[in-house]
Structure 1
Amino acid sequence: MEDGINALQGVPLEVRHIRAALTREFANLLDLDDVPDLSPAQRERVFLSRALAAKTAQLVADCTAAEAAEAVIDGPADHGIDAVMVSPTTAEIWLIQAKWSAQGTARLDSTAIQKFLHGFEQLLDLQYDRFNARFQPWADRVDAALNAPTLRVHLALAALGDDSLTDQGQDLLRKAILEFNQVEELVDFRFLGVADFYSAIRQDTLPAPASVTATLSDGWHMNSTPYQTYLGTVTADELAMWYEQHRERLFDQNVRYPLGMTSVNAAMVDSLLNNPHEFWYFNNGITVLCDSIRTNYFARHAEGQPVRLELANARVVNGAQTVAAVHHAYEREPQALAEALIAVRLICLDGAPTDLAQRITQATNTQNHVEARDFAALDPQQELIRQDFALSLDKLYVLKRGEQEPAPTAGCNVAEAALALACAYPDAALVARFRQNSDVLWRREPGGVYTRLFGSRPSALQIWRSVRLLRRVRDELVPLARGLEGRSRVVADRADLLVAHIAFQLIGSDGIDEPGDEWEARLEATVTLTSVILATLVDQLSARHGQHAFLARIFRDEQSCRHLVSAVLRSMEHGAEQQPTTPRRPSRGRRPNTVPLLVEHGLISDGTQLIYRPNSAAEREALHDWLSEVPERYLATWVNDSRKPLVWALDDRHYSPAGLVLRIWEEAQWAERPAAVHGARGWYLPGEGTLAELASELLADAETAGDDPGAE
C-alpha cells in the first residue's frame, strides 16, 4: 500500500482523480487476458492505457462504460488504433488513439500519429484481416458505415498531458484531413487532454429533466381515463423553443435522434417556410410523454379554452424529425413559424403502469409507413408500362411492395427498372444521387429524377434490356471482386452502378427500343468489357484522388462521378481493345427495326429533308428557344444507311435517329431530359409522317399482301 502511495507522490491532483475514476469505472470491464505474464505494475499501466482509450470513446461517442470497454482493441496488430466505435444509426465511426502517463506528461509524437493514420488507411482499403482478434467483431459495422451515405469519421487522440500535439504531429493530421476531405468534408479530429478528462469525471451522470410549456389554443380535448391525455395543437415557434432549450434531451426515450437534413426533413422545412398555414394538414404531429401536467388557463376554466400546460420531465417519443425540422426552419425564418400549427398528443404517465412508456414508444415508431416508391404505383404511366410488359414481352412488371416478385427471367419490379434507367441515363450524376439517397428516384420536384426516367414513358423493351444489362454487369463483377484485393476489390464491390453506367455509355441507346437482335449482340459484346471498365476505373481513381481517398464518398459526389466517367471513356477509346459489332438482320417473326426496314424497301430517297419535331410538351418547351436561334438545328438529310441515315444540317455528320435526338438534347443543355429517346418518332417527313409511322404503314401494307418484310 505504501508503495502505491509513494508512486503517487508528486502526481498532480487532477491526474490522481482521473486515475481513481478510471479504475472505478473500468476495473471489471476491460480485458487483460493477453498480458498474463506481466508484473502487477506493468499490468496496471496496460489497464490504465486501455481505460483512457475507453473513456475517450465514452466521451466522444456518448456511449456507456460497457460499450466503451468493448470498443478497446489495444494490443498487438492494432495498427495504432486503440479503440473503435461505430454508430449504425448515424453512420459515424470513431477511431481512438490514447497515451497514458502516470505523471500527466504524455504527448503524441509524429511517429504515433503516422502509425494511427496508416491504420486508418488500412480500414479504408478494407484490410480488416490485418487487425487483431479484438477488432474483428467490429469489422462488419465498420464496413457498413464506410458505405453509408451519411458517413462521418472522427479521429480522437487522447494523451494524459497538458500539452496537445507536437508541431510535426499537427502538420501530419492537417495534411491527412485535407486529403481525406478532398471531395467533401468527411473526417475531423479532436484532441483530449488532462483538462477534458478531469472535467468529465466531475460532471453529474444524469442530465436534468426537460420540462416544457405547451400552449393549447381553442378546440383542444382532454381524456382523463385511463390516462390523462391532451389532444390539440401548439404553434411551431413554441415547439422550436423546446428544442432550443433542451436539444437531444427531449428524445432520450425515442428510438432514434433526429437524422439531420434528410429528404423528408428538408421537405418539412420547405413546407413550414413556404406554406406554414397548411403544415398541419401534411404532418402527423408529435407524441409527448411526461410525469405530470399542471394547467394554467388564460380565462375561463373549461375544456377547449386557451390553456398553458406545464409538462414535467417531457420527452418526445414520436416526432423527433418534426421537432428538429421545426427548429431548423425557425433558425432560418422565425416569423413564418408563428402561422404554423403542430398537432400534439400529450400523455401524462402519473399512475400509469411502468411499462406504458416503452409500449407507447415502440408502437408509435414501428407502424407501417409509406415509402416514396409506393407513390409510383399511382402513376398511370406505370400501369401502361405494366401492360406493355405483358403484351409486348409476356413478362411481369411489379409495381407495389408486397406483390410476389417475378423470377429473374420472368420480369422485374419498378424499383429495379428505375435503377437500371438511372444507370443508363447519360449523366452520371443520377447514379451519384442514388448513392446519396435512393428516394431520389421517386422524387418529382427539382432535384428528383422520376420524371426524367418515366416522364416520356420508356417502352417495356427499353426497360427490360436496361435491367438485363445492369444485372449482367453486376453478375460479372461478383467473381471479379473475389479475385481482387485492397482498393480494386473495394471498387468492384461498391462501384457496380458506376461501372454499369459506363457500360451503358459504351453500348449506346440506339436501337434499344427496337425489336431484333442487333442490340442483343451489342449487349453481349459490352458485358465482356466489364473487367476492362473496372481496371480503367481503378486507375483513374488513383490518378485523380490518390491511394487512400474515401471511395464511397467519391461515388456519391456528382462532379467526381462525371469526371471519372469521362476519363474512363477517353482512356478506353484511345487505349482499350475495341469490340466491333456486326448488325444482325431481325429473325423471322419479329418486327424489324424501323431504319433497316425503310432502307431495305427504299421508301425514302437519298437527299430527302426531314424535320425534327419534339414529341412532348416538355420537350417542345425546353428546346424551342435553342432550336429557333439557328433553323438548321431542326433539319437533317436522309441517306439510305441502315445504321446512321441522318446527316445533320448543322455539322454534316451522320447519326441514327435516336443518336441525333440525344445530340440535340445535349447541345441544348436540357438538364431535365428524359431517359427514353423515341428517335423514330421525332423525325418527320413533310406530308408523309414520322419515320415510325412510315415503317408501320409499310408493315401494314405487307401484312395485307400476305408478305413479311422482316423475313429472309
Structure 2
Amino acid sequence: MPALEPQYMTILKKVLADRFVPFLPPLLGQANPADQAAKQISRAFSAFALHKLLGLAPKDAAATVVDDFNDKGIDAIYYHAPTETLYLLQTKLKESEQFKQDEAQSFCTGIRLLLKQDFTGFNANVLNRKTEIEGVLDACSHIRLVVPYTGDGVSQSAIDAMQVLLDDDDLDEERLEKQVQYYTAAEIVRDLLAEQAYRPVHTEIALQKHAKVESPRATYYGIARLADLVALHRTHDKALYERNIRYFLGSRSDVNKAIKTTLRDDPGSFFYLNNGVTAVCDEIEPKGKNPNNGLRKFKVRGLSIINGAQTVASAAEFVAQHPDSNIDDAKVMLTLIKAPADGPFGKRVTKARNHQNPVQTANFASLDENQERLRQEIAHLGYTYHYRPEAAATGSTAISLDEALRVQASQQDDPRYAVWLKSEPARLANPESAEYQALFPATLSGVALVNAVLCHREIRKLVVDYEQKAAARSLEKLIYRHALHVITAVMMKRLRQRIGAAVAIDGAAIPGLISQPLDQLRQQTFDLGQQRLLGEGPLAYFRNQGSVAGFLAALMETHFALTADPVLPNLRNINNATDAYPRKRLLDYLSGKAQQL
C-alpha cells in the first residue's frame, strides 16, 4: 500500500498544526523548539484520526491524546459511550516507514498493562485520567485497537506481534475485538479532500402536472415553482450545481438580463419564455400529493442541476436585489433524472443538454473528476480553483481553468504548445483531446499547479513590463510580445524543482529569484530574434511550429550555457518524422539540462 504522498503530508501537517495542536495536553518533556514543534504535530495525528473516524470535534479529540514520553506505546485513549467502545490508538506519522514490529510490541505492552489497570510507569497524561480510565474499563463492552499510519503499510512482523496479543487466552479479555482497525494513507487523502467537497443536496421538490418515464432511466418531469428552486440556491449555493458545466456567470449576459426583466415585469409568463431546468439525482421517491393544487412532493438525494444554472442563479440574484418582489407566479419546467451525476450516463446527459446552448468546449472540463480533485487540494492551500466558468473567479488567490491551461502548457517540452497558446488555444481546452490530457494527468498535484501559477504570473508580469518599456513600434517590443510563450517556457524549465516541491512557494520571493536570469533570457531572446527574423514578422514567425522549435532549441542552448556540449552536434541533425514533435530528442535533452534556480 503506497505511503502518503508528500503534497498530502504537507496538507495534513498544516491541518494538524492549525486545528489540533492548540488543544493538546502540554508536552511533559523538555526539548528544543524545533523538536517540540515536530513532536506536537506527531501527537496531533491521533486526534485527527479520532476526529475523522468518529466525528469528534478537534478540541475533544485533542483531549484524548496521551502521547508523550513513557506513554507505553499508547498514543490516545477514548471511550465512545453510545457504542460502549474503548478506543486505544498508536499512530505513526512518517512519510515512508512502515508500522514496525517494535512499535507493535510497545503498543501491546501498554495495552496489557492498561487492561490489568497497572498504571506503574505511565506518564502524567495517563495518570491524570486514571479514575476516568478505570471507570471506562469497567463500563465498556468493546475494546478496539486502532493504528493510523502514513507510511507504506504495516510490516508482517508487526501484524504477527499484535495477533499474539489478540489470541492470548491468558489475557482473559473477551471484549478485545479480534481485528485491528487500520487508518491508512488512502483514507487520510479521502478525508482531507472530502473537507473541500461540496455536500450532497438532499431535499424535497414539489411538481405540478407531473409525469414519469420508466425506462431506460426513471425520470419525472413537471412544473416547479421558481421560488422553490431559488430557496434551494440560497441554502446550498454551488453544491446545487456541482455537476453543471458552469456556475453563475453574473448579470452582464443578455440571457441573465432577460431573466431578471421577465421576473420584474411579467413573472406569470416566465414558464413560456424559459427552456426549463434539468437535474440529476441519486434517488427519487414520490411522496404525498396535495388534492387542492395537484402538487406532488418528491424526496430527492444527491440533487445536482446540470442545465439551467443561469436561470436559477439569476432568479436568486433578482430576489436578493429586490426583496419586496413577488415571483410566486413564475414557474419553470423541471426534469428530474435518476442517474448519479458523476456516472457515465449523468455526464452524457450533461453534455447533451448543454450542447444545445452556446457553450465553449472548455466548459466540459467540469466533468473531469481530476479537476475536482485539484480544486479540493488547492482549497487546502488557501487558493480557489475555478475550473467551471463563473463570475466570482477573480482576485490574487483565484485560479481559473484558462490560466491553468496556459500554465501547464508553458511547462511542456513539446514546442508546439508555445505555438498553440498563441494561435490555437482552444485545442488545449478540449477535455477529450490528447493535448488537454497531457496537461492534466492524474499525477498532477494541487500544490504543483499552485506553484506553477505563482511562477508563471511573475514571469509574465516581467516580460509584459519589458514590452511596455521597449520603444514604440520597435522590433524589440514586437519580439517580447510575440515570443512571450517561448520566453516563459524556457524560464519555467529552470523552476521545475521549486514547482514540483511538496510545499507552496512563497510568492513574494519569486521576483527576486527570477529577475536576474529572466533579464538575461530577455536579452538573449532579443539577440536571437534579430538574427533569425530576417524579413519575417514576429507574429508570423512565432506562430510557425518549425520556426519555434528551432528558436527554442537555440535559445535554451545559449541560456543554459550548453554551446560547448559535445552531445549537441549529433542531436541537432536528428529530426525524425516519427517523433511526437519536431526536434524532440534535441529539445528533450536541452530541457533536461536546465539549471535549477
Q: TM-score range by the shorter chain?
A: 0.3 to 0.5
Bigger relative contact order, structure 1 or 2, given CA contacts below 8 A and separation 6+? Answer: 2
Q: Bigger radius of gyration, 1 or 2?
A: 1
TM-score by length of 1: 0.28
**Given the two structures, how large is their TM-score scaled by the length of structure 2?**
0.33
